[in-house]
Amino acid sequence: MSNDLFTPIRLGRTELQNRIVMAPLTRNRAAMPGNVPQDINVTYYTQRATAGLLIAEATPISPMAHGYPATPGIHTAEQVAGWNKVVAAVHAKGGKIYLQLWHVGRISHPSLLPDNAIPVAPSAIKPAGQAYTFTGLQDFVTPRALGLDEIPALLEDYRRAAELALEAGFDGVEVHAANGYLIDQFLRDGTNQRQDQYGGSIANRSRLLLEVVATVSKVWGADRVGVRLSPINQFNDIRDSNPQALFNHVVEVLAPFKLAYLHVVEIGMSNDAPQAFDFNELRRAWQGNYMANGGYDKARGNAAIASGHAECVAYGVPFIANPDLVERFLADAPLNVPDQSSFYGGTEQGYTDYPRLT
């Protein structure tokens, strides 16, 4: 019998009741000041706990890692306590939840950082576009290139955040290496023009990702760590001259870790024409659990699993509007229409008030 979205699976050390994953979704609803998870966040995640796995929203690992207002962090005791309430409520419903570890790099603004600091990046290259700040959109600034002597402190931030996620009770963590944020900035030659051991060759540009994964795995065990990649996404003004060669190499060097899963965003999030990329080639190079993400519906999700393209499928926008997405898929019921105006920031409206089937 072939597998489908409703077949249980084991990802590393984590047993999932189904293969429907809630993708990490930034919603900008942490309590301010302090970027602390609050009661409406508890409600939001608990409503969606029938997913095989919830991947909590991208979560900054340090004060310097923030790039948007009201995103919950994982670098203070108050944040840990807030996340602990979320995790406990999800576990009480029988759900499993990972935390996504995030550093935005240059996709920030001094007004969002301690002492109006300049954002950091692999190289001092200003991104096109504007930052979302507490006073509205403001042009991105030219970032400061991270010094070679600063890399150990960055890795320490990842280690400490991983420890705090463990303390908060999560089932695992996902390293965010996608969507034009700091690790992705190191991977791509469009943003990384360094002349040291973190720049130049594909192997050098992949070094930071490998060091982060090794650091986090020492805390969690690699079988409770996932990695997210987005090979063709040009969101946040990110690009590479040869993404196929780059990400084939990344998958090759990640393989020895025996991670819980590889989470691959197979679409772009910007209006740029996507670069040619063979995801089947990437998939063939990865022998572990592959999590597909990008515009999947129930039928495409089932087909991806039945064909062996993916072990599980991550859904984003459908989970925003359908807290009971798993039940709706099971019943072939119609889906609620998402209200895009309430995606980012606000109150319970458009967050915890979408109707359920029953």
* DSSP-based three-state secondary structure for 151: helix
Q: Give the separation between CA 358 and CA 353, rounded to whole angstroms.
A: 14
Q: H/E element holding 95?
A: none
The three-state secondary structure class of 67 is coil
Contacts of 307 (CB under 8 A, 6+ apart): none
Out of 44, 68, 98, 181, the active site residue is: 181
- Distance between CA atoms of residues 218 and 85, nearest Å: 25
Cis-peptide, bond into residue 323, ω within 30° of zero? no
Angle between helix axes 207-220 and 243-254 (nearest 10 degrees) is 30
Quickly count: other Cβ atoms within 10 Å of residue 34's Cβ.
15
Q: List the one residue out of 177, 23, 172, 163 whose CA is nearest residue 79.
A: 163
Number of C-beta neighbours around residue 250 at 10 A: 25
The verdict on whether 181 is a catalytic residue reads yes
Which residues make beta-bridge pairs with 258?
Answer: none
Q: Annotated active-site positions, please?
A: 181
